[in-house]
């Protein structure tokens, strides 16, 4: 399937899903689905740098929070609506990815991983001390009382926006995967030295994928302040975003755009169920245990099983 | 702002005392990351585990937390050996340490934290010791014993490790692993066995550092994360795997944090180590004292 066709199909499917689910009467569905879709975007974005390129980003929460706090800052300063803050947050998070990538991607991969974690803490401290966006007390971003498109409540709109964003993230990830850029990234992942000697512009490609990955994570974050109408630093920078966006691609499979999608939908849904039925601490434990189990026992994730099964069918 | 000499000197003393503690926290990472090339991002989790074990024994029997941790360090040593075994078999042997190995340690960090939260809750825990509430005063200078005691034991431990590494056969083997694993194989030594023992040693230091931590401040499960940046900052700043470098870098960081919290407020302190780490990685990745 060509990229353009895939984009059209993805958009059509997303619109259909967004429209069809408006019939669902249960309000809880929208708030649970919002979280799962958020994870789809984060996992897909993480995988562009992690799965395709082989560089681990421990700071997904930081990029997510950059998007969220861009929305808050622009809302407080100029009362800008969500439609404007989405591209703004995406751009700022992309710049952060570019900056972090430029500073540390020349070093060994592990330094990028540690630096991404470091960036999360520095930004967290910065936001805690930044009184304009509420500091440690948090900030209120009230949902507009009038909801466009005749939707009954604002969460319906947020949900629909997230469906479209998830489709966009998947289209971008797939386009990168199938392009020469994607092949360059795969070469970096498999053997960076060999790729460099073969003429692959490794640093440029790595910085490119760090930028795209960061921008998509930021995009997901821009809607978050409206989701609960309230945001505070420790929830926006929560480690669970970082862990989930690593665990989901690893569990789904990192080699293609489908892996993060499968991982995020499965793990995200399980977490929503566990959170309602048991407790949120237990759902974090489940993510951690699944992450360690998959990484030690099934390094290629669910898509790895599917691939192995297909190979057997062929024979 | 008027800066009185007393305030300045006390900030220096607090920074140095804190630096000694940071050396104990980071020396394990200098061994595992700096020498063995095992990126143990879960190191702080074992520090917090050490804090909680010291807390349990202290609240049950009233023993001194630091003595408890030193006595129980063989357990941490064994735990470290077992962890390295798993890491070696699942990742290092298959050449997958760079991505999946990192994710593995991240998972371990996360699991430890969540289990501690499930068992003990998110309340801050403290220990009782004979020296906790005593402060020695020399003129205007304060020497709180809850910082002085960990400082002394910590510096002794770090110096001991340095002497051990340079003066024993096993220690020199560890240094050899850090330089050239293939050459070690050619000499008929198994680098995996050496690495396993050295990794055990690094986790043992984490357990002891955990006792220092809970003597110095109240502990709850998620504060371990704040130390991830710190341990790697000290390790990188000290020049990957140099024990003296680690000690010196720990003092630099201790002073930087003490000055920041004295003159800008404690809420900025966590950013210091991470900021310094980012700056080091960006501009001088071989560290202050690197080759």
Q: Is the dihedral of CA B103, A54, B288, B191 positive or negative?
A: positive
Spell out which residues of chain A touch residue B26, defining contact as CB-CB under 8 Å: none
- Paired with B219 in beta bridges are B125
- For testing the chain A interface, which of B223, B226, B257, B271 should be mutated: the one with the most A CBs within 10 Å? B271
Q: Which chain A residues are closer than 8 Å to B94 by Cβ?
A: 299
Residues in contact with A280: Cβ distance below 8 Å, sequence separation at least 6, in sequence order: none
Mutation site for B-interface testing, chosen from A295, A298, A299 by largest number of B Cβ within 10 Å: A295
How far B58 CA lies from chain A's nearest CA (Å)? 27
Grade residue B129 by pLDDT with cuts at 50, 70 and 90: confident
Q: Is the pLDDT of residue B43 over 90?
A: yes
Maximum alpha-carbon separation in chain A: 64
Mean pLDDT of A165-169: 93
Q: How far apart are CA A210 and CA A101, in angstroms?
A: 6
Residue-wise pLDDT tens digits, A270-299 = 888 888 888 777 888 888 898 899 888 888
Domain boundaries, chain A: 3-237
Structural domains present in chain B: 5-283 (1.10.3470)
Residues in chain A within 8 Å Cβ distance of B222: 239
CA distance B38 to chain A (A): 10
Cβ distance B271 to A122 less than 8 Å, yes or no, reads yes
H-helix or E-strand spanning residue B53: helix B43-61
For A49, the closest chain B residue by CA position comes to: B99
> In chain A, which residues have their Cβ closer than 8 Å to the Cβ of B271?
121-122, 125-126
ipTM: 0.82
State the count of interchain CB pairs (< 8 A) between A and B. 122
pLDDT of residue B288: 66
pLDDT range class, residue B250, cuts 50, 70, 90 = very high
A144 Cβ under 8 Å from any chain B Cβ: no
Q: CB atoms < 10 A from the CB of B7, how many?
A: 14
First-to-last CA distance in chain A? 25
Higher pLDDT, A22 or A201: A201
Residue A128: the pLDDT is 87
Per-residue H/E/C for B113-176:
HHHHHHHHCCCCECCCCCCCCCEEEECCEEEEHHHHHHHHHHHHHHHHHHHHHHHCHHHHHHHH
Asked if B225's CB is within 8 angstroms of A239's CB, the reply is yes
User: Could you tell me if A249 and A299 are in contact, meaning their C-beta atoms sit under 8 angstroms apart?
Assistant: no
Distances from the Cα of B164 to the Cαs of B70, B81, B179, B195, B271, in angstroms?
Answer: 17, 18, 17, 15, 34
Which of A51, A53, A59, A121 to mutate to probe the B interface, most B CBs <10 Å?
A121
Interchain proximity A285–B98, CB inside 8 Å: no
Please indicate whether, in this complex, the C-beta atoms of B110 and A129 are within 8 angstroms of each other: no
> Distance between the two ends of chain B, CA-based, in angstroms?
40
Residues 6+ apart with CB under 8 A from B283: none
Q: Does A295 touch chain B (CB under 8 A)?
A: yes
């Amino acid at each position: 399937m060509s990229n353009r066709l895939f984009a059209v199909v993805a958009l059509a499917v997303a619109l259909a899903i967004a429209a069809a689910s408006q019939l669902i009467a249960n309000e809880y569905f929208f708030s649970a689905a919002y979280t799962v879709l958020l994870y789809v975007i984060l996992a897909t974005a993480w995988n562009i740098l992690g799965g395709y390129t082989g560089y681990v980003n421990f700071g997904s929460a930081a990029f997510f929070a950059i998007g969220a706090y861009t929305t808050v800052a622009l809302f407080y300063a100029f009362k800008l609506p969500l439609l404007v803050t989405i591209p703004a947050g995406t751009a700022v998070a992309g710049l952060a990815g570019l900056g972090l990538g430029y500073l540390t991607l020349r070093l060994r991969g592990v330094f990028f991983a540690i630096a991404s974690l470091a960036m999360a803490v520095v930004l967290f401290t910065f936001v805690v001390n930044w009184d304009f966006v509420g500091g440690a007390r948090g900030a209120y971003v009230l949902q507009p009382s009038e909801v466009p498109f005749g939707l009954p409540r604002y969460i319906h709109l947020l949900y629909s926006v997230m469906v479209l964003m998830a489709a966009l993230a998947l289209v971008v990830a797939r386009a990168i995967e199938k392009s020469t850029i994607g092949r360059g990234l795969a070469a970096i992942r498999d053997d960076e030295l060999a790729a460099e000697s073969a003429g692959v512009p490794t640093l440029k490609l790595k910085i490119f994928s760090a930028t795209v990955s960061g921008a998509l994570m930021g995009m997901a974050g821009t809607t978050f302040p409206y989701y609960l109408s309230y945001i505070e630093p420790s929830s926006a920078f929560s480690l669970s975003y970082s862990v989930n966006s690593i665990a989901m691609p690893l569990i789904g499979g990192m080699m293609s755009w489908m892996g993060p999608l499968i991982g995020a939908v499965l793990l995200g849904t399980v977490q929503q169920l566990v959170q309602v039925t048991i407790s949120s601490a237990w759902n974090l434990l489940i993510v951690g245990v699944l992450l360690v189990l998959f990484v030690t026992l099934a390094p290629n994730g669910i898509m790895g099983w599917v691939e192995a099964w297909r190979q057997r069918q062929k024979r | 702002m008027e800066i009185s000499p007393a305030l300045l000197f006390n900030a220096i003393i607090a920074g140095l005392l804190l630096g000694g503690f940071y050396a104990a926290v980071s020396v394990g990472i200098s061994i595992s990351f700096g020498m063995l090339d095992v990126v143990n991002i879960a190191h702080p989790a074992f520090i917090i585990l050490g804090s909680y074990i010291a807390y349990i024994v202290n609240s049950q029997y009233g023993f001194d937390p630091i003595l408890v941790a030193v006595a129980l360090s063989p357990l941490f040593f064994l735990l470290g050996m077992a962890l390295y075994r798993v890491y070696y078999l699942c990742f290092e042997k298959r050449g997958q340490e760079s991505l999946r190995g990192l994710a593995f340690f991240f998972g371990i960090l996360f699991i430890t934290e969540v289990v501690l939260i499930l068992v003990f809750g998110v309340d801050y825990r403290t220990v009782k010791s004979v020296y906790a509430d005593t402060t020695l005063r020399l003129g205007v200078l304060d020497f709180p014993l809850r910082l002085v005691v960990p400082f002394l034991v910590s510096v002794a431990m770090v110096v001991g490790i340095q002497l051990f590494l340079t003066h024993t056969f096993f220690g020199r083997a560890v240094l050899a692993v850090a330089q050239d694993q293939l050459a070690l194989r050619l000499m008929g030594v198994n680098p995996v066995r050496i690495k396993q023992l050295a990794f055990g040693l690094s986790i043992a230091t984490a357990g002891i550092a955990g006792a220092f931590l809970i003597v110095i401040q109240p502990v709850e499960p998620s504060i371990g994360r704040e130390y991830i940046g710190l341990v790697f900052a000290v390790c990188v700043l000290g020049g990957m795997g140099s024990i003296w470098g680690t000690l010196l870098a720990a003092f630099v960081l201790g002073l930087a944090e003490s000055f920041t919290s004295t003159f800008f407020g404690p809420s900025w302190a966590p950013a210091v180590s991470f900021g310094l780490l980012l700056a080091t990685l960006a501009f001088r990745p071989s560290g202050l004292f690197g080759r």
